[in-house]
Structure 1
């Protein structure tokens, strides 16, 4: 039997393990998109997520990270913070004041085991506790877009060819009370 999944706020000692999640999950996501050869883009994405983790550990940080652990080992991450550049561009800055659910990554060996859902559930509970009414999220990954459609319904905005031919970027806007 697998150890139970627990979700906690990121602690300083979780930082190296969270970095490893990004180092495994981001290249895997890019490879599934057919972008495994774009090493510079992958490295930039990993470094941006690491920067957000470091920022989240500062006092009064605008970003909050949660980690999922199985048997004490970090296997996934999720964050909430100011909306990112792609959301700002894709919505013509309509959602600049809405926080973003982001950095949802699960180690490839742990995917499809409910970890992402557990992370989302705990983040929604955190948003409710903070009396945050709305959140947005975005994705350019086709596989993730399918999952988000199942979980969050139709996107608020779809920008065709954002990442190139037949590669749309999607943005969702949701009410916390709906969960």
Structure 2
């Protein structure tokens, strides 16, 4: 299912499939990284939304451990033995289906890309994406989609993947923008 070892500015990094033993550290990563993302967006006061997002990611990761009943793959990035980040690949989610009028329902989604704040900007996310590209090529998959309502993430995705497939204004409320990208596996 894909494993890589590489160097980042944070040190040696290995990316491996998620295991049962990873659920606890991954749960903690989601609590930290999702709270940080909301706070950087000026949304730290939305504690219920933060909790719901964390719980949703934990459920998805846990469900992926039962391959016969799951169509989701999860990987973890490890630095120094600890979990520093995650990425997943799954059928496209509800936000993508809604934002595109179901046009991308058959395209899988890069999701759950979260990196602990202390490792952000050090190549961990890029290494996770690179590993996912290898996995998708091995599966014969040529396209994937991703979405984001976080302005900070949108800036990175615009640089990495170019113009989005669709931009939905006021999706999360006034002055919010949600973007969906349709990308080619490279």
Specify the TM-score bucket, using the shorter chain as the normaliser. over 0.9
Indicate whether 1:54 and 2:57 are aligned. no
CA–CA distance in structure 2, aligned partners of residues 2 and 74 of structure 1? 13
Offset at residue 32 of structure 1 (A): 0.6
| TM-score normalised to structure 2 length | 0.93
Aligned length: 177
Indicate whether 1:128 and 2:134 are aligned. no
CA–CA distance in structure 2, aligned partners of residues 116 and 5 of structure 1? 11
CA–CA distance in structure 2, aligned partners of residues 46 and 2 of structure 1? 25
Could you list the runs of 5+ residues in structure 1 that have no partner in the other structure?
none
CA–CA distance in structure 1, aligned partners of residues 32 and 119 of structure 2? 11
RMSD: 1.0
Offset at residue 163 of structure 1 (A): 1.1
Indicate whether 1:40 and 2:40 are aligned. no
Offset at residue 119 of structure 1 (A): 0.4
Look up the match of 1:28. 36
| Structure-2 change in CA distance of 1:108 and 1:2 (3 Å) | closer
Look up the match of 1:115. 124
Look up the match of 2:76. 67
| TM-score normalised to structure 1 length | 0.96
Look up the match of 2:101. 92
Is residue 10–residue 122 contact of structure 2 (8 Å, CA) maintained in 1?
Answer: no
Look up the match of 1:16. 24
Look up the match of 2:4. none
Look up the match of 2:3. none
Could you list the runs of 5+ residues in structure 2 that have no partner in the other structure?
1-8
**Greater alpha carbon shift after TM alignment, 139-148 vs 13-22:** 13-22
Give 3-state SS (helix, strand or coil) of 2:109's partner: strand
Give 3-state SS (helix, strand or coil) of 1:123's partner: helix
Look up the match of 2:110. 101
**Pick aligned residue for 2:149 from 135, 140, 148:** 140
CA–CA distance in structure 1, aligned partners of residues 37 and 27 of structure 2? 15
